[in-house]
Amino acid sequence: MIFIRDRTTAAVYIAIHAKDVVMLEGKGDFTKIWMEDNRVAHEIYAPLSSFTEQFPGFIRCHKSYLINPEKIRRLSFVEGFVIMGNLQLRAKVPKTGVYQQALKKLIRE
């Protein structure tokens, strides 16, 4: 679980549970945290790399994505993507060769 500052009130923090997170998407100095209920929980002013230690079970499949392996619905090494989420959120996340080993290791386990 991590705590994120609420944008509307600086003195309020919101708890985010890793089990509810589908993926984190990095865009420059900002990171979007995508939740299971098809919403972005928060867009945070912090690079994606700052979340790798806070979400230790998550896998980096691309330089811009950190995904929850429990939320993977489909994985294609030929087409180069991962489908994430439940029926409401079906994000097509690219994967690159640099991060492919972590995904292959997940399949073997």
| Residue 49 or residue 9, greater confidence | 49
User: What's the CA gap between 33 and 39, in Å, rounded?
Assistant: 9
Tokens of 29: 């100095």
Residue pLDDT, tens place only, 36-86: 876 667 888 889 999 988 999 998 888 888 999 998 888 877 777 777 776
Residue pLDDT, tens place only, 10-33: 788 888 899 999 899 999 999 999
In the predicted structure, residue 4 carries a pLDDT above the cut 80: yes
**Total domains in the fold of the chain:** 1
Report helix, strand or coil for 33.
strand
The whole domain housing 30 covers 2-108
User: What is the domain-level CATH number for residue 91?
Assistant: 2.40.50.1020
User: What's the CA gap between 29 and 94, in Å, rounded?
Assistant: 20
Task: Check residue 93 and give its pLDDT.
Answer: 67
Helix-, strand-, coil-residue percentages of the chain, each rounded to 5: 20, 45, 35
Task: Check residue 88 and give its pLDDT.
Answer: 44
**Quick one: pLDDT band at residue 89, thresholds 50, 70, 90?**
very low
Give the length of the chain: 109
> Considering the entire predicted model, what is its pTM?
0.81
